[in-house]
C-alpha cells in the first residue's frame, strides 16, 4: 500500500512538472510563420476563452491587420501567414521573447518608451492612456478639492481675461453713457469735478447691479444697451454659478489628489516591470537623494530601489512583495496582472493600485469592483500604446505592412466606436 501511494505521488509530481504553465512565455520559438504573444488576463484587450481560443479587442484588431499580411512559401509565392497565438503574461518575458526572436509580435498593450525601443520596435500608436492611481471609494465631502477646482477655473488666465474684459467693457459703457447724459444737461450748478465723480459713482453702482442701467433712459438705443448688458451679465453669472456647482458636486465622494512623491509613503500594488513600477522607482530615487546618506532610512531606500529595478536578464517574477521594512512607511507589491492588483485593493491589503488608466477604469466598472475601486481622474504620466515587434525575426517590409494595416483599421469608425463604448470616450488616440 505504501509503495502504491508513493508511486502515485511520484507520478503526480512528474505530471505537474512536465505540464506547461498556461501563462508561461515560450522558452523556444513555437511553430508558425508569425508568433503573436498576448496576455490571457488582460480583458478586454486580450484573453483566452475556456476552450483555449484567443479573444479580445487586441485579438480582433490583429485579425483585421493579419488579412493584409503575407509570407512566401517554398515556391516563392505570397500566401497567408500561419499565425500562432501564445500566452505570455509577464512584461519581462514578452521583452525577452521579442529580443530573442522567439516572439514576433506582442499585441498585449505595451507602452511605447525610448528605453524599450532600444531593444525592439513598436507599431504605430493606436491607444493613448496614462498612469493613474486607484483607491477605495470615499463618500466624504472633500472641500479642498472644490476649492482647487474653483481656484483653477476662476484664476485660469483665459477665464480671468474674459471676466476682466467684460467688467471693463460694462464699466466703460455705463460710464460713457451717464457722462454724456449728465454732461449735456449741466446747468452751471454742478462743477466739472462733481459731474465726473457723480458719473463714476453712478457707473460703479450700475455695473455691480444695484440699479438698472436703463433707469431714466428715454431713447430706444439706451434700452437696447440695457438689454445687451443684462444678457451678458446673466451669462457671466450663470457661468460662475456653474463652476461653483460643479466644484462642490465633484467634491462629494471625490478623492483627494495624491502627489507622486506621496506614493512612496503608501502601500502600493503595481504590475511587475511596467512603466508604473518605473514611476515608483523614480520617486523612491528622489526620496533617497533627499535622505541622510548614513541614516537607516537611506539604507532601507537603497534596498527598495534595488528591488524595484527591473532587469530583463533576471528570471521572470510573479506576485512578489518588495521588502516590508518598518523603517519605511508602506510597501510595494508587484503582481502579474491588473485583476490581481484590484483584488488586493478590494480586500484592503494595499492602499492603492498604481497602473494603467484604461485597465483600472475598465476593472472599476465590473460588478465585483464597482463599489470597491475608484480611479482618480488625474494621471501622473501620459502614455502611448503600441504593439511590440521583434527586430530579430520580423522583416522591415512586414513591419511596414503591419503599420499600414493598423493605421487603416484605426480610421475605421466602427472599430473606434466599439472600443470607446467599452473603455470610455477619449480612450482612443486621435492620431
pLDDT digits (tens, 9 = 90+) for 189-235: 555 655 565 566 556 555 555 455 455 545 545 555 555 666 666 66
Query: Cis omega before residue 122 (within 30°)?
Result: no
CB neighbourhood size of 363 (10 A): 25
For residue 409, the model assigns a pLDDT of 86
DSSP sequence for 259-303: -GGGGGGS-EEEETTSHHHHHHHHHHHHHHHHS-TTSHHHHHHHH
Q: How far apart are CA 120 and CA 134, in angstroms?
A: 31
Strands 54-55, 46-48: parallel, antiparallel or unpaired by DSSP? antiparallel
Kindly report the pTM of this predicted structure.
0.67
- List all residues 6 or more positions away from 317 whose beta carbon is below 8 Å from its beta carbon: 90, 92, 272, 273, 334
Only one residue has cell 488616440, namely 429
159 CB-contact burial (10 Å; exposed 0-12 / middle 13-18 / buried 19+):
middle
Low-confidence ranges of the chain (pLDDT < 50): 1-22, 186, 210, 213, 217, 220, 429-431
Count, residues in the chain = 431
The residues spanned by each domain of the chain are 20-128+384-423, 146-251, 256-382
CATH hierarchy code of domain 20-128+384-423: 3.40.190.10
Longest CA span, the chain: 129
State CA 158 to chain mean position distance.
26
**Among candidate residues 331, 352, 348, 355, the one with its CA nearest the CA of residue 273:** 355
Q: Three-state secondary structure along 206-261?
A: HHCCCCCCCCCCCCHHHHHHHHHHHHHHHHHHHHHHHHHHHHHHHHECCCCCCCHH
Rounded CA-CA distance 2/76 in Å is: 62
- The per-residue pLDDT for range 233-276, each reduced to its tens digit, is 666 666 666 666 665 555 555 567 889 999 999 999 999 889 99
Question: Which phi and psi angles does 55 have, rounded to 5°?
Answer: -155, 175
Amino acid at each position: 500500500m505504501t509503495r502504491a501511494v508513493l508511486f502515485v505521488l511520484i507520478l503526480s509530481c512528474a505530471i505537474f512538472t512536465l505540464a506547461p504553465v498556461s501563462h508561461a512565455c515560450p522558452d523556444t520559438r513555437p511553430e508558425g510563420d508569425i508568433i503573436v504573444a498576448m496576455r490571457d488576463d488582460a480583458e478586454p484587450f486580450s484573453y483566452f476563452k475556456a476552450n483555449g481560443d484567443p479573444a479580445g479587442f487586441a485579438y480582433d484588431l490583429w485579425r483585421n491587420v493579419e488579412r493584409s499580411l503575407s509570407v512566401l512559401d517554398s515556391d516563392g509565392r505570397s500566401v497567408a501567414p500561419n499565425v500562432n497565438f501564445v500566452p505570455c503574461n509577464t512584461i519581462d518575458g514578452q521583452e525577452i521573447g521579442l529580443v530573442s526572436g522567439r516572439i514576433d509580435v506582442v499585441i498585449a498593450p505595451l507602452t511605447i518608451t525610448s528605453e524599450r525601443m532600444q531593444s525592439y520596435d513598436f507599431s504605430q500608436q493606436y491607444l493613448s492612456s496614462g498612469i493613474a492611481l486607484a483607491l477605495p471609494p470615499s463618500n466624504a465631502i472633500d472641500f479642498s478639492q472644490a476649492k482647487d477646482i474653483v481656484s483653477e477655473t476662476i484664476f485660469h488666465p483665459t477665464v480671468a481675461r474674459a471676466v476682466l474684459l467684460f467688467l471693463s467693457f460694462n464699466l466703460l459703457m455705463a460710464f460713457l453713457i451717464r457722462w454724456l447724459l449728465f454732461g449735456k444737461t449741466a446747468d452751471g450748478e454742478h462743477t466739472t469735478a462733481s459731474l465726473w465723480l457723480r458719473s463714476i459713482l453712478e457707473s460703479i453702482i450700475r455695473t455691480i447691479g444695484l440699479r438698472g442701467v436703463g433707469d431714466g433712459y428715454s431713447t430706444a438705443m439706451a434700452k437696447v444697451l440695457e438689454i445687451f448688458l443684462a444678457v451678458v451679465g446673466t451669462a457671466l453669472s450663470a457661468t460662475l454659478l456653474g463652476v461653483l456647482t460643479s466644484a462642490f458636486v465633484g467634491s462629494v465622494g471625490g478623492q483627494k489628489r495624491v502627489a507622486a512623491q506621496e506614493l512612496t509613503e503608501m502601500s502600493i500594488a503595481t504590475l511587475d516591470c511596467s512603466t508604473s513600477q518605473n514611476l515608483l522607482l523614480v520617486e523612491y530615487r528622489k526620496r533617497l537623494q533627499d535622505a541622510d546618506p548614513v541614516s537607516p532610512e537611506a539604507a532601507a531606500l537603497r534596498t527598495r530601489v534595488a528591488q524595484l529595478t527591473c532587469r530583463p536578464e533576471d528570471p521572470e517574477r510573479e506576485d512578489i512583495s518588495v521588502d516590508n521594512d518598518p523603517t519605511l512607511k508602506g510597501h510595494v507589491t508587484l503582481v502579474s496582472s491588473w485583476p490581481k492588483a484590484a483584488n488586493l485593493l478590494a480586500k484592503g491589503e494595499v492602499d492603492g493600485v498604481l497602473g494603467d488608466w484604461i485597465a483600472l477604469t475598465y476593472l472599476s466598472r465590473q460588478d465585483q469592483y464597482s463599489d470597491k475601486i475608484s480611479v482618480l481622474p488625474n494621471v501622473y504620466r501620459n502614455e502611448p500604446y503600441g504593439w511590440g515587434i521583434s527586430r530579430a525575426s520580423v522583416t522591415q517590409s512586414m513591419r511596414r505592412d503591419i503599420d499600414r494595416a493598423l493605421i487603416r483599421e484605426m480610421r475605421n469608425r466602427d472599430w473606434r466606436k466599439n472600443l470607446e463604448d467599452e473603455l470610455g470616450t477619449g480612450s482612443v488616440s486621435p492620431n
